[in-house]
Amino acid sequence: MEKKQSVVKRTLFSWVSSSSLKLQASLILIAIVMVVVCVFPLEMQKRIVNEAIILKKFDLLLFYCLGYFLAVSAASALKYLSIIIQTQISQQVMAEMRKKLYSHIISLPLDFFRKTQPGLVVNSLVAELNVPSNFVGMAIAVPVINILTLLAFAVYLFYLNPLLAIISFSIYPVIIFLVPILQKRANLANKTRVDLSRKLSGRIAESISGIHEIHGSGAYCIENNKFSNLVKKLLKIRVTWTRYREGVKVTNNFFTSLGPLIIFILGGYLAINGRLDLGALVAFLSAQEKLYTPWKELIEFYQVYQNATVTYNRTMKYFDIDKVYDIAPVDRDTYELTGALEVKNLSFVTEDGIRLLTDINISLKPGEQLALIGFSGSGKSTLAKCIAQLCKYSDGQVIVDDKEVQALTKLDVVRNIGFVPQEPFMFQGTVEENLLYSCAAIHEEAGKSPATCKPGLDDMVRLLQQTGTFIDILRFGLSALISRDHDQELAERIIKVRRKFQATFEEDLEGYIEFFQDDKYLYHLSITENLIFGTPRQKSYAGESLLNNKIFIDFLNQADLTRPLLKLGAQLSEQTLDILGNLSPNPALFEKSPLAPEELDSFKELAERLKRTKLHQLTKEDKDQLLALALRFTPGRHKMVALPKMLENLILEGRALFKDTVTARKPQDFISYDEAEYIFSQPILNNIFFGKITNSTLHVQEKINKCIVQLLIEEDLLDLIIEKGLRYDVGSKGENLSGGQKQKLSIVRALLKDPKILIMDEATSALDNNSQSRIQNLLETKLRGKTTLISVIHRLDIIKNYDKIAVMKAGKIVEIGTYEQLMSMQGVLYELVSGKK
Amino acid sequence: MNSYQEKNDLLAKSEFQENLDVLREVYFFSEFPLEVLKVFAYLCIREKYKEGDIIFSQNDDDGRAYYILSGQARLSRSHENKEVLVRTCGENTFFGAFTLAGMANRLFSLTALTNTCCLILTREKFQDTISQFPDSRQYIIQGLSDSIISWEEKYLNENINCDSCRSIMGVSLI
């Protein structure tokens, strides 16, 4: 089978020949017609002067003017059409270039990405391909149209007056000589510009990726200086580039503008002597002037060509790196290996000549388990990566069954080897999509539908339980909102669970949950929520807009709440400012504050006014500010002020009043908390509780989860909630997941493809003791004998049951054997374990 | 009537003020300036544990300091698969100055023996506060060294006649 040419080896012109030939042919056709319609007005011009005006024939004047009009209209329409077709071609080519280059880039060796900033790749794919693809769009049309037009005008000029024609063309050789000299310099500047733009994109990407470090170290100046230096350089080179580029245009303009001067002198002389008629002189001047447009476009085309070549070659050259491994086998099926692993005399030396691994020898039978331990920097992770084909080793061999790992295709490796890194990556999408990522990839590459790798829910649940991920998924499912239109039946079942939950667990969970009860104040709800005691359906009853709601303000007055709330607001403001007033706005410190960091200044000013004024003398704006603060006061969260008992009772009375007056009058504006009704604006969990959790710490969560799981099993709802949990959106880079959750999901992801060799590179480092033990248990019981395991471990208390332990030091294996053997040798492992103790 | 209400009615003090009173009594915090203590007091949380609940576990780095407000807890250490009772801790016991200062795995486990309420400050919040008051870093070191010295002094007074204890005396010499 013939190998396809790599995108980075293709010339810019190869894109022209591979672009839509139909569109290119239609452009040529348009070009020919355009030439005719461009010359036609010149002839009309001549005839208008010579035949219509001089012979005073009005009907001819009208006739020729009509011809002129039609030709100009057709020329404009054709020009528009040719631009549309060119754009179509260049956009198609750009899409194709992007797809192919992206596909090439993501298959490049990992080493390349260690040295390459993501921003640079983004810049290349997004910005730098614009000019080359624009060039491809115009590569045929522009030269054809303009050269034909130029030729047509030239022929017409010769037809009018050969001598004048020769003289007026004499300036073009000068231009042809000068322009390339200037363009060469522009190209040099452009090359530097492309490199600098790439560097600038890389720098931006690096700063954004390391933004935590910048904030943490307050290194704003350092980063600003680095960025400014690059911007300065880029500015300088862009100015130079523009200078030469515009120099080309100005030189061209200057010389072409000299054309009419020559015609005036020579043509004027000939006309005065009667050797040239006036009409011919006018037509000649017009034609000569019209030469300028195609010529200008040709020069511009030349510049685009030069820019495109430089940008294209520079971009492709950067990514012109050979792929180390083929993606899929060509003339055979993917290998199904048994997992026997032999590492022989393996060494790894970096490009800088630093030796990270020396003479490593390991032998594992299928299903055996090896722990790799040692100090940081001893080469454990590098060795794990070499075995997983993620690092290209310099010397020696890694043999799985009888196959050398370096010679395997990527598909062979991913089919047989699972790799779990210390910091796994999650892609934006659902939990399920992330779990099935590796499995679906194998199916897709092998030409099967990715959907076929989907395991049954029971298998998935079993694996989730074995890895301790089940509770996380359940929690995600319980945080889902359900739809009033589609999930009515589920809502009714959850209400049943709610009743059972309160009846069964109220006592066990006392102090952890505040249940919604009409006559009880909820300390983990705001004052507004305690008053309304339901979900508003109108924006005018939500958030700060309440203060503009006359009905609500009247209600506060009627319930005698306005003044005590103002007083509470003032007290809250005073206390919060006393504690946090002088802190810099770190959001973590304001989590339990009723004041947001950005409100500090305005409340400080208000506090100053309060020192000079009585509460009732404040302006409406000041009062609103205090009232808003008091209404968001949540005693269970904002602990700087105690809620006075008197106010608490007033609020409870206010709740009843609100229900009897406002809610009764405007039932469409609220959904009151009602034990028999599902609250669609709240997640499933809150609907089961029908209340608010007062404590979100781990041990409380575990207790609540246990109760919920018990009930969901009893009500046959567990699978449904797990399915909802699997559809949970993990956010960009998995931002909605904790480090431990990412690690657990990554382990499940690897196990789902059922690899024969599993490599775990400190894959449980972010897990708590319980989760770590659970995973260890899974490895020791379910995987032993089935999957060959290589586990890079930093905790020494979990290595005892491994079949072999390899202790690494400075890139070498200094000891290898069972735990008992190594401990009895009293070597490095013994020292490490004793040191720990 | 829950405990929150009881406190409000009887003491008419906010939880913040109560926390502040507690912290001023704790050896490790007592030297910090009032403005820093106020932030600590505001950032403290309260957690209730029921009988048998694990408050923290050996080998975990939970990153929290605890002050037992009410109840009793069992401090133990797991050694060669056996749980050894170290001592029973009651009200006003404080754990965790080292945890606040930096990452440290627990050498002990603490389990609630009765319904227990703890005042808790996390390392993250503690460090966030310290970074707002850089001058107060000195009090961390001072607090830790004072704690070690006072502990050793007590240990020496109680065990100076114990022959087997003498070989491990001198923690304050580190």
At A350-390, the pLDDT tens digits run 888 888 999 999 999 999 999 999 887 889 999 999 999 88
Task: Give the pLDDT of residue A586.
Answer: 81
A792 pLDDT higher than 90? yes
**For residues A189 and A314, is the Cβ–Cβ distance under 8 A?**
no
Q: Scan for tokens 């775990």, then name that residue.
A: A760
3-state secondary structure of B68: strand
Is the alpha carbon torsion for A709, A713, A714, A715 positive or negative?
Answer: positive
- Angstrom distance (rounded) from CA A750 to CA A758: 8
Sign of the dihedral through C-alpha A680, A682, A684, A690? negative
Q: Average pLDDT in the B70-84 region?
A: 90
Task: Please state, as a whole number, how many other Cβ atoms lie within 10 Å of the Cβ of residue A591.
Answer: 10
The bridge status of strand B45-49 relative to strand B116-122 is antiparallel
Statement: residue B6 has pLDDT above 70 = no
pLDDT at A74 over 80: yes
Quick check: A696 contacting B, CB < 8 Å? no
Q: Which residue has the higher pLDDT, A658 or A1?
A: A658
Lowest mean pLDDT among A232-246, A530-544, A758-772, B16-30: A530-544
pLDDT band at B12 (very low <50, low <70, confident <90, very high): low
Selecting from B13, B14, B54 the residue whose C-beta is nearest the C-beta of A699 gives B54
CB contact under 8 A, A589 and B16: no
Does pLDDT of A402 surpass 80?
yes
Q: Is A61 on the interface with B (CB under 8 A)?
A: no
Nearest to A639 among B42, B53, B132 (CB): B42
What are A400's strand-pairing partners?
Answer: A341, A403
Q: What is the tens place of the pLDDT at every residue in A240-275? A: 988 888 888 888 888 877 877 888 888 888 888 888
First to last CA, chain B: 51
How far apart CA A716 and CA B162 sit, in angstroms, is 64
Sign, CA torsion A351/A356/A358/A361:
negative
Given this model, what pLDDT does residue A709 score?
86
* CB atoms inside a 10 Å sphere around CB B172: 14
Give the residue from chain B lying closest to A641, CA to CA.
B14
What is the nearest CA distance from A522 to chain B, expressed in angstroms?
11
| Residue A733: CB atoms within 10 Å | 12
Is any Cβ of chain B less than 8 angstroms from the Cβ of A592? yes
Question: Would you state the pLDDT for residue B2?
Answer: 44
Q: Which of residues 519-548 of A touch B (CB under 8 A)?
A: 523
Q: Helices H, strands E: what count in chain A?
A: 33, 14
| Amino acid identity at A772 | Q
The Cα of B47 is separated from the nearest Cα of chain A by a number of Å equal to 8
Rg (Cα) of chain A, in Å, rounded?
Answer: 39
| A825 interface with B at CB cutoff 8 Å | no
Separation of alpha carbons A144 and A757, rounded Å: 61
Which residues does chain A have within 8 Å of residue B60's beta carbon, measured at their own beta carbons?
768-769
What is the DSSP code string of A545-575?
GGGG-HHHHHHHHHTT-HHHHHHHHHHHHHH
> Taking CB atoms and an 8 Å limit, are A797 and B59 in contact across chains?
yes
Round to whole Å and give the CA distance between A15 and A221.
45
pLDDT of residue A579: 94
For residue A533, count other CB atoms closer than 10 A to its CB: 24
B-chain CB neighbours of A769 within 8 Å are: 57, 59-60
pLDDT tens-digit series, residues A131-147: 899 898 888 888 888 88
Question: Using a CB-CB distance cutoff of 8 angstroms, which residues of chain B are in contact with residue A580?
Answer: 39, 42
> Which of A278-287, A568-577, A756-765 is the least confident region?
A278-287
**Secondary structure (3-state) at A521:** coil
- Among B14, B47, B128, whose Cβ lies nearest the Cβ of A640? B14
Does the beta carbon of A837 lie under 8 angstroms from any beta carbon of chain B? no
pLDDT at B7: 44
Q: How many angstroms away from the CA of B129 is the closest CA of chain A?
A: 8
What crossing angle do the helices spanning A550-558 and A645-658 adopt, rounded to 10°? 130
pLDDT of residue A348: 92
Secondary structure class of A538 (helix, strand, coil): coil
- Cβ within 8 Å, pair A645-B39: no
CA–CA gap between residue A491 and residue A688 (Å, rounded): 10
Report how far residue A804's alpha carbon sits from residue A785's, in angstroms, rounded to the nearest whole number: 13
Contacts of A549 (CB under 8 A, 6+ apart): A540, A541
Mean pLDDT over A447-473 rounds to: 78
Q: What is the pLDDT of residue A595?
A: 92
pLDDT for position A505: 83
Q: Which of B16, B47, B132 sits opposite A640 (nearest CB)?
A: B16
Strands A355-364, B116-122: pairing is unpaired
Confidence category of residue B11, pLDDT binned at 50, 70, 90: very low
- The pLDDT of residue A752 is 87
Interface contact A639-B7, CB threshold 8 A: no
Residue found by looking up tokens 């510009």 in the block: A193
Q: Is the pLDDT of residue A128 over 60?
A: yes
CB contact under 8 A, B128 and A589: yes
Lowest mean pLDDT of A342-356, A443-457, B59-73, name the range.
A443-457
Q: What is the pLDDT of residue B10?
A: 42
Residues belonging to chain B with any Cβ–Cβ distance to chain A shorter than 8 Å: 2, 4-5, 7-9, 12-16, 19, 35, 38-39, 42-43, 47-49, 53-54, 57, 59-60, 124-125, 128-129, 131-132
**Residue B140 C-alpha, separation from nearest chain A C-alpha, in angstroms:** 19
Mean pLDDT confidence for A633-652:
93
Q: Print the SS3 string covering A222-255.
A: HHHHHHHHHHHHHHHHHHHHHHHHHHHHHHHHHH
Tell me the C-alpha to C-alpha distance, in Å, between residue A794 and each of A375, A420, B20: 8, 15, 40
A738 contact B CB<8A: no
Compute the distance between CA of residue A722 and CA of residue A1 in angstroms, rounded to an integer.
47
State the residue for tokens 């106020």.
B38
For the cut 60, the answer to whether the pLDDT of residue B3 exceeds it is: no
A96 vs chain B: nearest CA distance in angstroms? 49
Strands A788-792 and A757-761: parallel
Query: How many angstroms separate the CA atoms of A309 and B127, rounded?
Result: 55
Packing angle of the helix pair A718-726, A470-478 (nearest 10 deg)? 90
Answer for the pair A104, A317: CB distance below 8 angstroms, yes or no: no
Q: A589 vs B4: CB contact, 8 Å cut-off?
A: no
Terminal CA-to-CA distance of chain A, rounded, Å? 62
Determine contact, residues A567/A632, Cβ cutoff 8 Å: no
Q: Are B4 and B46 in contact (CB under 8 A)?
A: no
Position with higher pLDDT, A698 vs A130: A130
Q: Is the Cβ of A556 closer than 8 Å to some Cβ of chain B?
A: no
Flag whether residue A645 sits within 8 Å of chain B, measured between CB atoms: yes
What per-residue string of b and e applies to A111-133 under the rule 16 or more CB within 10 Å gives b? eeeeebbebbbebbbeebbebbb
Q: What is the mean pLDDT of chain B?
A: 86
Domains and CATH numbers, chain A: 12-318 (1.20.1560.10), 341-425+738-836 (3.40.50.300), 480-516+675-723 (no CATH), 525-669 (no CATH)
Q: Which of A100-104, A659-663, B75-79 has the lowest mean pLDDT?
A: A659-663
CB atoms within 10 A of CB A247: 17
Distance (Å, rounded) from C-alpha A263 to C-alpha A321?
A: 57
Using one digit for the tens of pLDDT, what is the confidence trace for B121-142?
Answer: 999 899 999 988 988 888 888 8
Contact A196, A233 (CB under 8 A): yes
Per the listing, tokens 């106010």 go with: A647
Q: What is the mean pLDDT of chain A?
A: 86
> What number is the average pLDDT over the span A91-96?
90
- Give me the residue from B15, B54, B132 closest to A639, CB to CB: B15
Mean per-residue pLDDT for A818-826? 90
Q: What are the tokens at A694?
A: 């007062």
Query: Beta strands A788-792 and A395-400: pairing type?
Result: unpaired
Residue A829 near residue A822, CB atoms below 8 Å: yes
- Assess A477–B contact: CB distance below 8 Å, yes or no: no
pLDDT the model gives residue A835: 63
Q: Is the pLDDT assigned to residue B5 strictly greater than 70?
A: no
Nearest to A645 among B8, B35, B129 (CB): B8
Q: Write out pLDDT tens, residues A709-747.
A: 888 888 888 888 999 999 999 888 888 888 889 999 999
Task: Say whether pLDDT at A200 is over 60.
Answer: yes
pLDDT at residue A789 is higher than 90: yes
Distance in Å, alpha carbon of A583 to nearest chain B alpha carbon: 7
Q: Which chain B residues are within 8 Å of A586, Cβ to Cβ?
A: 128, 131-132
Contacts of A579 in chain B (CB under 8 A): 16, 38-39, 42
List the single residue in A523, A641, A797 with the smallest CB-CB distance to B4. Answer: A523
Question: How far is B14 from chain A, CA to nearest CA, in Å?
Answer: 4
**Is 90 exceeded by the pLDDT of residue A771?**
no
Residue percentage of chain A with pLDDT more than 90: 26
- Determine the pLDDT at residue A568: 94
Residue of B nearest to A643 (CA): B8
Name the closest residue on chain B to residue A642, using Cα atoms.
B14
pLDDT per position as a tens digit, A535-576: 887 777 777 778 888 888 999 999 999 999 999 999 999 999
Picking from A579, A644, A695, the nearest residue to B38 by CB comes out as A579
Report residue A446's pLDDT band, with 50, 70 and 90 as the boundaries: low
| Cβ-based contacts of B103 with chain A (< 8 Å) | none
Give me the residue from B42, B43, B47 closest to A695, CB to CB: B47
Report pLDDT digits (tens) over B138-174.
888 888 888 888 888 988 988 888 888 887 888 888 7
Task: Collect all residues of chain B within an 8 Å Cβ-Cβ radius of residue A644.
Answer: 8
**Nearest CB partner across the interface for B39, out of A579, A635, A797:** A579
Q: How large is the average pLDDT for residues B76-102? A: 89
Reference A340, options A300, A304, A367; nearest CA is A367
Least confident of A539-548, A580-589, B69-78: A539-548
Report the pLDDT value the prediction gives residue A4, as an integer from 0 to 100: 62
pLDDT, residue A2, reads 41
A589 touches chain B (CB under 8 A): yes
- Position A680 scores a pLDDT of 85
Q: Is A499 left (phi over 0), alpha (psi -120 to 50) or beta?
A: alpha
CB neighbours (10 Å) of residue A808?
Answer: 24
Angle, CA of B33, B36 and B42, to the nearest 5°: 135
